[in-house]
Chains A and B, each alone.
Chain A
Amino acid sequence: MSSRVTPDTGSLTQKVEILMAIEVRIPTILRTYTDGERAVTASGATVAEVIDDLEANHSGIRDRLVENGEVRRFVNIYVNDEDIRFIGGLEAKLGDGDTIVILPAVAGGGR
């Protein structure tokens, strides 16, 4: 866990924002953005914040995950084994030590 001191306005509790360490498992197809790493650490209190943090370090990855403010239809994101579509989508809350798994859908078809 790391901490960051934010600018000087507001109360003490607002000044020190605790950044949660979240492990994010990266699927093969997106490892081009993470120098081949299978897992990276990011921080954020929601999935959306973690994706913003990922984007800051791995430019371009957000577009592969998010479209028009929603998780892409054929991308699955899980927080501690729960598909985020069932727990609030990109606004799903995270706690320190949570694990995110990203998996592209396995899908297709004749038409």
Chain B
Amino acid sequence: MLTIDQATHDAIVAHARRDHPDEACGVVAGPVGSDRPARFIPMLNAAMSPTFYEFDSADLLRLYREMDDRDEEPVVIYHSHTATEAYPSRTDVDLASEPGAHYVLVSTRDGAHESGPIDFRSYRIVDGEVTEEEVNVVASYT
């Protein structure tokens, strides 16, 4: 199960809406071993594409160095699908490289980028196998 606070959940949704029709992407870092997504880090989609996302290589190095320095890990890795459902694509599965992370997908298709409810789902992706998990949105971490 992914437990995430409302403010971070909303920030991910807002980022996805803002970047629509391109895919939005980012990380929520947290203390190593805590499983708590604490620090929201929106990333630039270097691909600037409606069907693909990729962190810029220099940004990626900076991000991992910063997390290392702060004893953090990527608790959540999120991105949006802008024309398909919030389910990992073949590409998502092939490229998933953080077996410890919650992979969050948001879909902004069918007008969801403008208003109304939005699909916000979370998965574990380990060795090419996708397992969906429950998302528990809390007011704050206590």
Contact = CB atoms under 8 A, between A and B. Distances in A.
B54 A105 contact: yes
Interface in B71-90: 77, 79, 81-84, 88-89
B95 A105 contact: yes
Quick one: which of A74, A104, A106 has the most chain B CB within 10 A? A106
A104 B95 CA distance: 8
Interface stretch (B1-9, B10-18, B97-105, B110-118): B97-105
Interface in A55-107: 74, 76, 78, 81, 83, 85, 101, 103-107
B61 A111 contact: no
B53 A109 contact: yes
Contacts of B79: 108-109
Interface residues of A, number: 19
A78 B56 CA distance: 13
Interface string B21-46: 00101010000000000000001000
B25 A76 contact: no
Given A29-B97, A106-B77, A111 B51 contact: yes
A110 B57 contact: no
B60 A106 contact: yes
A94 to B, nearest CB: 17
Nearest to A74: B95
B51 A107 contact: no
Interface string A11-48: 00000000000000001110000000000000000000
B88 A108 contact: yes
A111 B23 CA distance: 11
Nearest to A105: B54
Nearest to B46: A107
Contacts of B27: 106
5 A-B pairs closest in CB distance = A109-B52, A104-B97, A108-B92, A107-B54, A111-B51
30 contacts: A29-B97, A29-B99, A76-B60, A101-B64, A104-B97, A105-B55, A106-B25, A106-B43, A106-B77, A106-B95, A106-B98, A107-B47, A107-B53, A107-B55, A107-B91, A107-B95, A108-B52, A108-B53, A108-B91, A109-B23, A109-B47, A109-B53, A109-B79, A109-B89, A109-B92, A110-B23, A110-B81, A110-B82, A111-B51, A111-B52
